[in-house]
Amino acid sequence: MDPGNDTGISEFYLLGFSEELELQPLVFGLFLSMYLITVFGNLLIILAVSSDPHLHTPMYFFLTNLSFVDICFTSTTIPKMLQNIQTQSKVITYARCLTQMYFFILFTGLDIFLLTVMAYDRFVAICHPLRYTVIMNPWLCALLVLVSWVVSALYSLIQTSMVLGLSFCTEVEIPHFFCELNQMIQLACSDTFLTNMVMYFAVMLLACGPFLGILYSYSRIVSSIHRIASAQGKYKAFSTCASHLSVVSLFYCTGLGVYLSSAATQSSHSSAVASVIYTVVTPMLNPFIYSLRNRDIKEALGKVLLRETSYKK
């Protein structure tokens, strides 16, 4: 059947990683394991922070929000991919594809904004320690999270609305394991110039603005740490933001690597494989980074596990 323009298309086909049947159980097991580790690890962070009154501070408030967003982030794409492998079906409806794309963009934006807010929190804690509790009051923390949700939701709505105005071919195969915005635009049969301009402008604004904010926060943090006289004081100040700096580096480096590699190779399959790093691996590693590099989290997790063990006895 020859493809043709069709604004009433009802289905897309997610090609995934490999069409070889013998590899499907391996792919299924690998992604199911990573998904379960991601959900379990982030739930442990949320449980540890919520159960320990000593961790009811702005830094851990933002961390629990980040953990919740990471669970939602992976839940947007992985369960559908696992279902497709299990049922040997690559079909995703048009409505579900747009819904998946909307929530994927939403939670990506939230990840970026929350990492920026956490950088600001560390900036205030290290550069203005005496005013920290006054500046980072509960009202401001709640407002920062609310603004992150609102801006991310509006950004996602704009991007999804632009795709709604496109016409697609009657046979549409997405060379990815989820409905990714750039892939959707490339597969459209109608003119995509305006959609591409809006997408690139919005992505640059969303990615560069928060990233510059993070760079500014850490430049001020480094400057303040250099002014600390004792080596022990410098280590203590740096250790409070080491976990966050590790997560920021992992998120931005992998995300940038995905887009640079896809632009260099022009291979949709390579882009799909590279996307796994920041869509699955990064949310999975975040709990390990925060728990292994943070004594307070380790102590809270130990109390939770000890309490669960005593209940069983």
pLDDT at 6: 47
Please give the C-alpha separations between residue 18 and each of 28, 68, 90, 201, 247, in angstroms, as whole numbers.
Answer: 11, 30, 11, 33, 30
pLDDT at 263: 53
pLDDT at 4: 43
pLDDT at 3: 43
Backbone angles phi, psi at 228, to 5 degrees: -75, 130
Q: What are the 10-residue block averages of pLDDT along the chain, 313 residues in total?
A: 50 75 83 94 90 88 94 93 86 90 94 93 90 94 96 93 82 80 81 80 82 90 81 72 80 69 55 74 85 74 68 56
Integer Cα distance of 142 and 62 in angstroms: 9
3 state SS for the chain: CCCCEECCCCEEEECCCCCCHHHHHHHHHHHHHHHHHHHHHHHHHHHHHHHCHHHCCHHHHHHHHHHHHHHHHHHCCHHHHHHHHHHCCCEEEHHHHHHHHHHHHHHHHHHHHHHHHHHHHHHHHHHCHHHHHHHCCHHHHHHHHHHHHHHHHHHHHHHHHHHHCCCEECCCEECCCCCCHHHHHHCECCCCHHHHHHHHHHHHHHHHHHHHHHHHHHHHHHHHHHCCCCHHHHHHHHHHHHHHHHHHHHHHHHHHHHHHHHHHHCCHHHHHHHHHHHHHHHHHHHHHHHHHCCHHHHHHHHHHHHHHHHHHC
**What pTM does this model have?**
0.88
The CATH homologous superfamily for domain 10-312 is Rhodopsin 7-helix transmembrane proteins (1.20.1070.10)
- Both tokens of residue 74? 């992976």
pLDDT at 293: 64
Integer Cα distance of 248 and 245 in angstroms: 5
